[in-house]
């Protein structure tokens, strides 16, 4: 694998038109947007020196072999706003575990990764509000903070699949977490997934779905021929 000790800068590209994404992700903009959405000084309840919205990679740099493709992973189209605790916690744990598991696997697999729905936070009156990091010149809300980050793993030879989902917030109580967990968590106390260790101290919640349950909720991915569960 080609590697470099220096971390590339994120590349603006043209996907987001005239929006300068580096400014959108700036912590000062995050604070300003939270105050606009949730009420004055509400940023102080959610953003700290160690907890803020990071540029969460969808496909990680370390997933790629060549330096050119590693650099390409730093295009903003390959990132979404992800709370730092989850980014360095469950999501990083999943990335690391999947690389180890797939590298020891005898056949190639396909990985579908993305985001779904919009995360919410309680405003000053206790009402949940959707989070967007930017408003364009037409007053359209853009750059949503996702509710979910996910990775769907598929082995086309064995026709096995599984989905891993991380809820993008450390601010939800158990009732909210239960509501947001949209499938039976097949990783919970399952020895077949002993290779995956979530990081519970990050304050976020992640879970695993059988393929059919996953696509009932997230239904826009290509339909796959799945016969069994990927372990």
Annotated binding site for Mg(2+): 87
Answer for the pair 131, 122: CB distance below 8 angstroms, yes or no: no
Cα(96)–Cα(187) distance, rounded to whole angstroms? Answer: 16
What the block records as the tokens of 100 is: 């180890």
3-state class (DSSP) for residue 116: strand
Cα(197)–Cα(202) distance, rounded to whole angstroms? Answer: 12
Answer for the pair 134, 184: CB distance below 8 angstroms, yes or no: no
Q: How far is CA 18 from CA 11, 69, 139, 143, in A?
A: 13, 25, 14, 13
Catalytic residue among 57, 75, 127, 205: 57
What are the start-end ranges of the E strands in 46-104? 53-57, 79-83
Cα(150)–Cα(218) distance, rounded to whole angstroms? Answer: 10
Answer for the pair 227, 157: CB distance below 8 angstroms, yes or no: no
Closest listed residue to residue 198, CA positions, set 96, 113, 94: 94
Annotated binding site: 87
Is 57 an annotated catalytic residue? yes
Catalytic residues: 57
């Amino acid at each position: 694998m080609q590697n470099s000790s220096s971390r590339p800068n994120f590349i603006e590209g043209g996907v987001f038109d005239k929006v300068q994404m580096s400014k959108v992700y700036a912590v000062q903009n995050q604070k300003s947007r939270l105050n606009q959405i949730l009420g004055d000084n509400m940023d102080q309840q959610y953003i700290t020196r160690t907890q803020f919205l990071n540029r969460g990679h969808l496909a990680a740099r370390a997933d790629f072999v060549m330096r050119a493709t590693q650099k390409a992973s730093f295009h903003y189209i390959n990132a979404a706003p992800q709370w730092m605790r989850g980014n360095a916690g469950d999501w990083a744990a999943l990335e690391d575990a999947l690389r180890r598991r797939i590298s020891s696997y005898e056949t190639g697999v396909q990985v579908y990764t993305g985001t779904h729905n919009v995360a919410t936070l309680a405003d000053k009156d206790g009402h949940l509000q959707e989070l967007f990091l930017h408003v364009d010149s037409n007053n359209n809300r853009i750059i949503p903070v996702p509710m979910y980050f996910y990775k769907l793993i598929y082995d086309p030879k064995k026709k096995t699949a599984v989905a891993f989902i991380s809820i993008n917030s450390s601010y939800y109580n158990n009732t909210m977490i239960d509501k947001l967990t949209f499938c039976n968590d097949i990783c919970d106390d399952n020895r077949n997934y002993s290779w995956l260790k979530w990081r519970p101290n990050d304050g976020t919640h992640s879970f695993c779905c059988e393929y059919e349950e996953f696509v009932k909720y997230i239904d826009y991915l290509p339909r796959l021929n799945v016969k069994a569960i990927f372990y």
